[in-house]
Amino acid sequence: MFSMEEKAENWIWICMGTGVAVLWLIYKMRKKQNEEKERASGVPRGNSGWPLLGETLDFIASGYTSRPVTFMEKRKSLYGNVFKSNILGKGIIVSTDAEVNKVVLQNNGDVFIPCYPKSITELFGKNSILQMNGPVHRRLHGLIGSFLKSPQLKARITRDIEASVRHFLSTWLEKQHSIVYVQDEAKKISFEVLVKLILSVDPGEELSLLKNEFEELTKGLICLPIKLPGTTLYKSLKAKERLTRMVGKMVEERKLSMEKKEEKGFPNDAIDVLLGNADGAKQPLPYDFISANLIEMMIPGEETVPTAITLAVKFLSDNPVALDCLLEENLELKQQKISCCEDYSWTDYLSMRFTQNVISETLRLANIINAVWRKSLKDVKIKGHLIPKGWCVLASFTSVHMDEENYENPYNFYPSRWEKVGVAVTSNTFTPFGGGQRLCPGLELSRLEISIFLHHLVTTYRWVAEKDEIVYFPTVKMKNKLPINIMPLQQSPLIQTKQN
- Helices 205-218 and 182-199: crossing angle, nearest 10°? 110
Amino acid at 413: F
Please answer whether residues 366 and 470 qualify as being in contact, where contact means their C-beta atoms are separated by less than 8 angstroms.
Answer: yes
Query: How many Å apart are CA 313 and CA 246, to the nearest integer?
Result: 34
The Cβ-side half-sphere exposure at 305, using a 13 Å CA radius, reads 31
Q: Would you tell me the crossing angle of helices 353-365 and 320-340 to the nearest 10 degrees?
A: 140
DSSP conformational letter for 73: H
Collapsing DSSP to helix, strand or coil, 90 comes out as strand
Check if the beta carbon of residue 465 is closer than 8 Å to that of residue 497.
yes
Determine if residue 15 is labeled as part of a ligand binding site: no
Q: How far is CA 141 from CA 105, 112, 273, 371, in A?
A: 15, 18, 11, 20
* DSSP per-residue letters across 390-411: T-EEEEEHHHHHT-TTTSSSTT
CB-CB contact of 182 with 306 (8 Å): no
Residue type, 460: T
CA angle, 103 then 431 then 71, to 5°: 85
Residue 277: Cβ-neighbour burial (10 angstroms; 0-12, 13-18, 19+): middle
How many angstroms separate the CA atoms of 159 and 145, rounded? 20
Single-letter amino acid, residue 97? D
Instruction: Please give the angle made by the CA atoms of 217, 219 and 223, to the nearest 5 degrees.
Output: 115
- What's CA 256's distance to the chain center, in Å? 35
Task: Give Cα separations from 347 to 151, 343, 440, 459 (angstroms).
Answer: 11, 11, 20, 19
The whole-angstrom separation of Cα 60 and Cα 57 is 5
- Collapsed DSSP state (helix, strand, coil) of residue 83: strand
* Cα three-residue angle 199-132-82, rounded to 5 degrees: 120
DSSP 378: S
Diameter of the chain measured on Cα atoms: 105
- Which residues make up each annotated binding site for heme? 440
